[in-house]
Amino acid sequence: METLTEVLDTQHQNLIKFDKLLTLNELSLEEIGRLSSYFFHYNDINFNMMFLNERGCRWFGLSMENIIDMKEEFVRKFYHPDTIEFEFPKIKRFYNNQDGDTVYSNYHQILNPSLQVFSICLVFIKKCTCLPGFVSITQPIESDLKISKKIKRIINEEMFRKHHERNFKYLTLRESEILKLLAEGLNNPQISNQLFISRRTVEQHRKNINRKLNVHTYKDILSYAYAFDLI
């Protein structure tokens, strides 16, 4: 079982090699797709899928012709809204600003139709040298990678941050400060003493925090504190 570091290095090199083979007209998209151990795809500059290898088609349960015909509907159906909102603009900036052998890598949430859940996938993207668009390798990570608990925690915290960033922005500076102290284990009297405010004021701030963030347990508080770097 590969480690995350090994996969990052291998897939970066694979994508550069695949792009060169395609540019030199030594292999076609179909032939490269058969070489790839994971999903190999070519997308136009608007993210429309123009080619997906057989492994990827099996994952989605669709033929390549169906996927191409779906155009933007494919993205809306199979990519998590957060991935579309946060990651696609980064890819477009990367495409517009990069040349050569630079590879963009990150993770996307992509629907696994057989399980009806969004799976975390590592995605490697390179501006295609000979075609207008980009070539990519996408690798689901649940069962294929030996990922440390630390990496899993970082991914989960980043996903939590994206999902809850809008709610967190509604907190005032004082409410964020109290949320931090709650995460550190302080109770209302201790917070009152540390901030030199009344206990009633602390209680009111806590009510506001609970309402804005919909937190009910200490675990909920910790999730926000870790994701937004309060502790």
Rounded Cα–Cα distance for residues 93 and 16 (Å): 19
Are the C-beta atoms of 39 and 137 separated by less than 8 Å? yes
Map 58-87 to HEC letters.
HHHCCCHHHHHHHCHHHHHHHECHHHHHHH
pLDDT of amino acid 204:
95
Q: Which residues of the chain have pLDDT under 50?
A: 145
pLDDT of amino acid 6:
66
- The residue whose two tokens read 């490269």 is 32
pLDDT of amino acid 151:
61
CA angle, 142 then 58 then 148, to 5°? 10
Per the prediction, the chain carries an average pLDDT of 87
Domains of the chain: 2-146 (3.30.450.20), 149-227 (1.10.10.10)
pLDDT of amino acid 231:
80
